[in-house]
Amino acid sequence: MQAFPAPSFGKVKLRPLSRKDARILQRLLEADREWLKPWEASTPGIRYPVNARAMVSNLLYHERKQTGLAFVILYEGSVVGQLNVANILHGSVSSATIGYWIAKEYAGRNITPYAVALAIDHLFDALALHRVEIDIRPENTASIRVVEKLGLRKEGLKERFIHIDGAWRDHFVFAITREERSDTMLNRLANTQLK
Alpha-carbon distances of 175 from 6, 113, 135, 155, rounded to whole Å? 23, 14, 9, 7
Read off the CATH number of the domain in which 67 is found: 3.40.630.30
> CA-to-CA distance for 136 and 144, rounded, in angstroms?
7
Nearest to 146 by CA among 105, 176, 177, 178: 176
10 Å Cβ neighbour count for 21?
21
Render pLDDT for 5-27 as a digit per residue (tens, 0 to 9): 778 999 999 999 999 999 999 99
Nearest to 142 by CA among 166, 117, 165, 109: 109
The average pLDDT across 49-64 equals 91
| Tally of domains in the chain | 1
Confirm whether 3 is domain-assigned.
no
Domain that holds residue 48: 8-188
Under the banding of pLDDT at 50, 70 and 90, the label for residue 188 is: confident
> CA-to-CA distance for 134 and 155, rounded, in angstroms?
10
Is pLDDT of 189 > 90?
no
pTM, full prediction: 0.93
